[in-house]
């Protein structure tokens, strides 16, 4: 069973990145029953990154962050997307098997356009590149947030069209979603995303973390009154860090009254700070040991490249690339 995921190096990692993508992959990695493939999707980041120095720096920092959060290069194949050039070749070949209507129905693209993003080809064809990422390595499962399920389904549709024409060449992937944490709410209650400016960053310093948690939108219920936890943005973020008993205890605090939302935000601040304490120390170590990080990425890229080269040799022959 091969499981694959990628995350864009589009800036500082936030809780949405961690709980919807990184943590599930690390948990699967540590179970040891699957072949884990994890990459930094720097080609995908070009849809929004226009500063070359910033993208390169973000890519390195993302590698440091992933390692600090628990990706183990001894257990997982870990590399930077652009180190395996076959993914772009497959992207182009798959484009000839991708109906326009399939991409026009992509929810993520329509959502971005509705929010004012430029209508460019890279954003429109994003699902095809994602399909190449998935199919190149014969991925069986792709852990994603709920909003990304459709992209995995598109990859599956493209694979089916190719296979129907040429035989069973590509493995048909399945999306894997944890329904409890598929969409992590941001400080405004919408999906947490850097694009929306509503994130709580994993490696934020104490001052920044306090500012970000302080921005969480709440209602105007008076301090002394009981409060509803079910639809509270603070609670819905805090519960990600709590087991069942911890969640029940926090619910009782809401229902009892006598505490304002400022108290709950301070509690969330403590949860985030303590949970990522060790990861922050490891992050600083990797930032100051670039050679070590580069070595890890190089080893992962060689393994991924070996698999990609074999797959593309077969694909080239099938489609007639001389």
Cα–Cα–Cα angle for 147, 149, 151, rounded to 5 degrees: 100
Residue 264 CA to residue 244 CA, distance in Å, equals 17
Residue 237 CA to residue 220 CA, distance in Å, equals 19
| 311 counts as catalytic | no
How many Å is the Cα radius of gyration of the chain? 21
- Tokens for 198, please give them: 């509503």
Alpha helices in 185-276 (DSSP H): 206-214, 233-238, 244-256, 261-275
SS3 18: helix
Residue 202 CA to residue 13 CA, distance in Å, equals 6
- Tokens for 32, please give them: 């040891």
Single out the catalytic residue among 75, 115, 191, 290: 191
Neighbouring-strand partners of residue 78: 38
Residue 101 CA to residue 10 CA, distance in Å, equals 28
Residue 110 CA to residue 107 CA, distance in Å, equals 5
Sequence-distant (6+) residues with CB within 8 A of 148 are: 108, 175
| 194 counts as catalytic | yes
Q: What's the order of all strands across the beta sheet hosting 174-176?
A: 76-80, 35-40, 2-7, 141-143, 174-176
Single out the catalytic residue among 12, 115, 120, 194: 194
Binding residues for ATP: 8-10, 16-17, 145-147, 184, 191-195
- Tokens for 162, please give them: 């190719």
Cβ pair 233, 187 in contact under 8 A = yes
Four-residue CA torsion sign, 250, 253, 255, 259: negative
| 191 counts as catalytic | yes
Which residues have a catalytic role annotated? 112, 191, 194
């Amino acid at each position: 069973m091969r499981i694959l995921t990628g995350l864009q190096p589009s800036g500082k990692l936030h809780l949405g990145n961690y709980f919807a993508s990184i943590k599930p992959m690390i948990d699967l990695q540590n179970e040891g029953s699957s072949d884990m493939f994890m990459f930094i999707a720097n080609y995908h980041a070009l849809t929004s990154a226009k500063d070359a120095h910033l993208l390169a720096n973000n890519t390195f920092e993302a590698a440091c962050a992933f390692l600090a959060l628990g990706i183990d290069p001894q257990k997982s194949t870990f590399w930077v997307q652009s180190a395996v050039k076959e993914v772009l070749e497959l992207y182009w070949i798959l484009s000839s098997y991708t109906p326009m209507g399939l991409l026009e129905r992509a929810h993520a693209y329509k959502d971005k356009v509705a929010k004012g993003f430029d209508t460019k080809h890279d954003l429109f064809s994003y699902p095809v590149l994602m399909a190449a990422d998935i199919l190149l390595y014969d991925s069986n499962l792709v852990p994603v947030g709920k909003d990304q399920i459709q992209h995995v389904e598109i990859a599956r549709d493209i694979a089916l069209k190719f296979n129907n024409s040429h035989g069973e060449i590509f493995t048909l992937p399945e999306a894997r979603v944890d329904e409890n944490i598929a969409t992590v709410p941001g400080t405004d209650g919408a999906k947490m995303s850097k694009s929306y400016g509503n994130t709580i960053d994993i490696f934020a310093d104490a001052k920044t973390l306090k500012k970000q948690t302080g921005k969480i939108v709440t209602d105007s219920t008076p301090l002394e009154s009981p409060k509803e936890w079910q639809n509270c943005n603070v609670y819905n973020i805090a519960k990600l860090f709590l087991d069942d008993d911890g969640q029940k205890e926090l619910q009782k605090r809401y229902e009892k009254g006598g505490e304002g939302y400022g108290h709950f935000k301070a509690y969330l601040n403590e949860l985030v700070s303590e949970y990522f304490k060790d990861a922050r120390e490891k992050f600083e170590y990797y930032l100051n040991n670039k050679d070590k990080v580069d070595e890890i990425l190089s080893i992962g890229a060689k393994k991924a490249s070996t698999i990609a080269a074999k797959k593309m040799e077969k694909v080239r022959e099938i489609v007639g690339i001389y």
